[in-house]
């Protein structure tokens, strides 16, 4: 078949996406929908000290659940090497996640090597349970920003949602410790599940109003295949904004950058900003620049993927950086994911990888 050629470089037009250079990157690949690769989420552990009902339900993640073995998980050198290769491909932002990233021992050592990658925005998402003790060392290691998940200020509701009886005060102390250590503004993520914590939306908004912390409401998603997701349990971003706006008037803000996950709003009284992540009711796949690296070194091009690509085999099999870079560029260039735009009752039932393993 006759292919159109780029006359200056003699390569098929279809492959041009692979050679679109951007400042700071050697070859920034584009996927099949023209999306650049900008964000890497790294799951540093599949373990967690919480059992949030929407993420790691106890009936599935009980005492007999088999987590990854030590030899299976990427070590810090392997993660840092992969991160440097991604940086060369145009990745500008890395988020460490899990599982609960702060349960991984000596995480500060990994943060220090990632922080040494020039021009990288380095952040981390945590449940906040260990943050009061760790905020200072994380900051000293080079962490720039932090997101803390907190689903309610009501202690009983929060304990019910984390399902390990963890008190809300400890997470609030963690948020304050993070701000005091200079990880401000702290972003606070609240997943809203109908019948569980939607009555916590307003108290959370009131509490964080005027604090400088940025509260973000996340629509409950059908990630994984164990949380028994139903559309009826989703409280839409529109509903949340309406609920808050009635009491504390809001106005929309422009995104900070293309592909920003949260839609931004600010209080008209100058009390700060909030965000809504409407991944179910207003899909934002068209701007999705994210890729995920699982704890055991598999790459997933979508949060709702059913299969990953094994990078660990390359890392441990003697591949050069150039070979790994080419492999990643190839994976990204074949990507056509847009799950949230095509979600149906059938896709909800797919055997998708769990969020605690792939990283949120
Ligand atoms: N353990 C850390 C934490 O909870 O912040 C990091 C990993 S967690 C998987 C990352 C984020 O995903 C958290 O903010 C969590 O609330 C969110 N999350 C988990 N399951 C979700 C679901 N089913 N729908 C929406 N958000 C979810
Ligand atoms: Fe653990 Fe985070 Fe999942 Fe909760 S949301 S179970 S804290 S990984
Ligand atoms: Fe990106 Fe997949 Fe989420 Fe769409 S569904 S925004 S492609 S991760």
pLDDT score, position 27: 62
Asked whether residue 290 is domain-assigned, the answer is yes
Q: Give residue 226's pLDDT.
A: 81
Q: What is the pLDDT of residues 96-108, one digit of tens each?
A: 999 999 999 999 9
Structural domain includes residue 48: yes
pLDDT for the residue 7: 29
Distance CA 204, CA 202 (A): 5
Domains contained in the chain, number: 1
Three-point CA angle 123, 129, 130, nearest 5°: 70
18 has pLDDT over 70: no
- Long-range Cβ pairs for the range 159-164 (8 Å, 24+): 160/53, 160/196, 161/52, 161/53, 161/54, 161/193, 161/196, 161/197, 162/50, 162/51, 162/52, 162/127, 163/50, 163/51, 163/52, 163/53, 163/57, 163/58, 164/49, 164/50, 164/51
Contact 190, 175 (CB under 8 A): no
Question: In percent, how much of the chain has pLDDT > 70?
Answer: 92
Rounded mean pLDDT of 228-239? 93
Cα separation, 111 vs 138, in Å, equals: 7
Contact 281, 30 (CB under 8 A): no
Residue 288 CA: nearest ligand 3 atom is: 1
Gap from CA of 239 to ligand 3 centroid (Å): 22
- Tell me if 5 is assigned to some domain: no
Confirm whether 341 is domain-assigned.
Answer: yes
Measured in Å, residue 310 CA sits from the centre of ligand 2 at 24
Which pLDDT score is estimated for 14?
35
Within-domain flag for 201: yes
Cα of 56 from ligand 1 centre, angstroms: 10
Cβ–ligand 3 contact at 284 (below 6 Å): yes
Give me the domain span that covers residue 353: 13-358
Please answer whether residues 218 and 277 qualify as being in contact, where contact means their C-beta atoms are separated by less than 8 angstroms: yes
Our mutation pick for probing the ligand 3 site, out of 285, 300, 301, counting the most ligand atoms within 8 A of Cβ, is 285
Question: Does residue 230 form part of some domain?
Answer: yes
294 lines ligand 2 (CB under 6 A): no
pLDDT above 90 (res 293): yes
Instruction: Pull the structure tokens for residue 130.
Output: 């260990």
Q: 83: exposed, middle or buried (C-beta count within 10 Å: 0-12, 13-18, 19+)? A: buried
| Any ligand 2 atom below 6 A from CB of 129 | no
Q: Is 37 in the pocket of ligand 3 (CB under 6 A)?
A: no
Residue 6 domain-assigned?
A: no
CATH of the domain at 96: 3.20.20.70
Ligand nearest to the CA of 224: 1
- Compute, in angstroms, the gap from residue 55 CA to the centroid of ligand 1: 7
Cα of 122 to ligand 2 centre, how many Å? 20
Name residue, tokens 């890497």: 40
CB of residue 197 inside a 6 A radius of ligand 1: no
174 lines ligand 1 (CB under 6 A): no
pLDDT digits (tens, 9 = 90+) for 258-290: 778 899 999 999 999 999 999 899 988 999 999
Q: Has residue 65 been placed in a domain?
A: yes
Ramachandran assignment for 195, one of left (phi > 0), alpha (psi -120 to 50 degrees), beta (any other): left
Q: Which residues contact 131 (CB under 8 A, 6 or more apart)?
A: 102, 146, 148, 171, 173, 174, 175, 177, 178
Q: Average pLDDT, whole number, for the chain?
A: 90
Q: Whose CA is nearest to atom 8 of ligand 2?
A: 99
Judging by DSSP bridges, how do beta strands 39-43 and 290-293 pair with one another? parallel
Residues 123-177: pLDDT tens digits?
999 999 999 999 999 999 999 999 999 999 999 999 999 999 999 999 999 999 9
């Amino acid at each position: 078949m006759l292919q159109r050629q780029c006359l200056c470089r003699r390569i098929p037009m279809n492959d041009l996406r692979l050679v679109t250079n951007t400042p700071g990157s050697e070859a920034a690949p584009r996927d099949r929908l023209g999306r650049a690769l900008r964000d890497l989420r790294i799951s540093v552990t599949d373990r967690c000290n919480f059992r949030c009902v929407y993420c790691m339900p106890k009936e599935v993640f009980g005492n007999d659940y088999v987590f990854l073995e030590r030899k299976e998980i990427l070590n810090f050198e392997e993660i840092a090497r992969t991160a440097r290769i991604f940086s060369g491909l145009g990745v500008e932002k890395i988020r460490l996640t899990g599982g609960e990233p702060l349960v991984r021992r000596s995480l500060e050592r990994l943060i220090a090597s990632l922080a040494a990658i020039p021009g990288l925005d380095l952040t981390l998402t945590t449940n906040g349970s260990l943050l009061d003790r760790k905020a200072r060392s994380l900051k000293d290691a080079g962490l720039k920003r932090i997101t803390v998940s907190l689903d309610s200020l009501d202690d009983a509701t929060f304990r019910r949602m984390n399902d390990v009886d963890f008190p809300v005060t400890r997470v609030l102390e963690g948020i304050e410790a993070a701000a005091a250590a200079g990880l401000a503004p702290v972003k606070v993520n609240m997943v809203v599940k109908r019948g569980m914590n939607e009555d916590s939306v307003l108290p959370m908004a009131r509490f964080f109003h005027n604090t400088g912390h940025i509260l973000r409401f996340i629509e409950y998603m059908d990630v994984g295949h164990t949380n028994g997701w139903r559309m009826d349990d989703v409280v839409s971003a529109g509903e949340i904004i309406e609920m808050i706006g009635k009491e504390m008037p809001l106005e929309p803000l422009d995104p900070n950058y293309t592909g920003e996950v949260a839609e931004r709003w600010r209080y008209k009284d100058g009390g700060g900003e909030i965000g809504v992540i409407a991944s179910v009711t207003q899909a934002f796949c068209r701007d999705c620049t994210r890729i995920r690296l699982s704890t055991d070194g598999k790459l997933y091009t979508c949060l709702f993927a059913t299969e990953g690509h094994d990078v660990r085999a390359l890392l441990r099999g003697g591949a050069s950086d150039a070979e790994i870079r080419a492999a990643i560029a190839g994976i990204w260039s074949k990507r056509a994911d847009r799950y949230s735009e095509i979600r149906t009752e059938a896709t909800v039932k797919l055997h998708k990888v769990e969020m605690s393993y792939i990283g949120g």
